[in-house]
Amino acid sequence: MSTPSSQATLDPAAATGSFDIEAGDGWIAELAAGETLRIVDLHGNQAVDTLFFDAHDYANRYSAVDTLREQGSAYLTLGSRLLALDCEPLVTITGDTCGRHDTLGGACSQESNVVRYGEHTRHMHACRNTFLAQALAWGRGLDKRDLPANVNFFMNVPLTPDGGLTFEDGISAPGKHVELRADRDTLVLISNCPQLNNPCNGYDPTPVRLLVWPAS
């Protein structure tokens, strides 16, 4: 079992899979228990919206409420256990060279774009579109009703003193990464965020790289 580390300890040459995901594209795959997924922010300042499901029971999916309550912190970081609705971990952050990640800001949608930025943004692609397209392509019963709260890896969403949220310039940088060890068989659904209207992607969405290692 991998030990949490703020440094890169896994050899990319030993990875069993490597995938470059363009901004606006998605990825869906199952991680077997013990496998590790590394998400690499290739160019820096890129948000990676991610959903997690128990691979054998999609109704038992990531719970932001339970995760934050049990860890007593509003941000995800090295050592955070991302809990499902049964309050058992789906994945654990075992490597993190960025520092913290958001699970409060949600995923951008065409509807939220209109509310936040105006009617002229309705046509713009959004993470909810990517999630839905990937879920429907995966099949196996996943559809729009199965898109719960998500994690925004590398995204900087500070809490204001009055309990509000703001979207700020990212704290990541080129080559920063986060590693997730699957604590059970877990379905991972990713949207590499295409958002152009706030600084979560530096107003210039860029590709990310995914690497998968077998259980140690």
**In which band, very low, low, confident or very high, does the pLDDT at 2 lie, cut at 50, 70 and 90?**
low
What distances in angstroms separate CA 168 from CA 107, 122, 172, 213, one per listed residue?
15, 22, 12, 32
**In which band, very low, low, confident or very high, does the pLDDT at 50 lie, cut at 50, 70 and 90?**
very high
Q: Does the residue 11 lie in any domain?
A: no
- Look at residue 1 and tell me whether its pLDDT is greater than 70: no
Q: In the numeric block, which tokens belong to residue 199?
A: 């600084």
pLDDT tens track for 183-207:
999 999 999 999 888 878 888 899 9
What range does the domain containing 28 cover? 16-213
Q: Does the residue 55 lie in any domain?
A: yes
Q: Does the residue 108 lie in any domain?
A: yes
- Spatial neighbors of 146 by CB under 8 A, at least 6 apart, are 53, 58, 59, 61, 135
Question: In 3D, which of 56, 60, 40, 59 has the Cα closest to residue 48?
Answer: 40
- Look at residue 22 and tell me whether its pLDDT is greater than 80: yes
Q: Does the residue 7 lie in any domain?
A: no
Q: Does the residue 3 lie in any domain?
A: no
- Spatial neighbors of 180 by CB under 8 A, at least 6 apart, are 31, 36, 37, 38, 39, 82, 91, 92, 93, 94, 188
Total domain count for the chain? Answer: 1
Q: Does the residue 187 lie in any domain?
A: yes
* pLDDT confidence of residue 117: 79
Q: Does the residue 4 lie in any domain?
A: no
Q: How far apart are CA 115 and CA 119, in angstroms?
A: 8
* pLDDT confidence of residue 5: 58
Q: Does the residue 86 lie in any domain?
A: yes
Mean pLDDT of the chain: 91
**In which band, very low, low, confident or very high, does the pLDDT at 129 lie, cut at 50, 70 and 90?**
very high
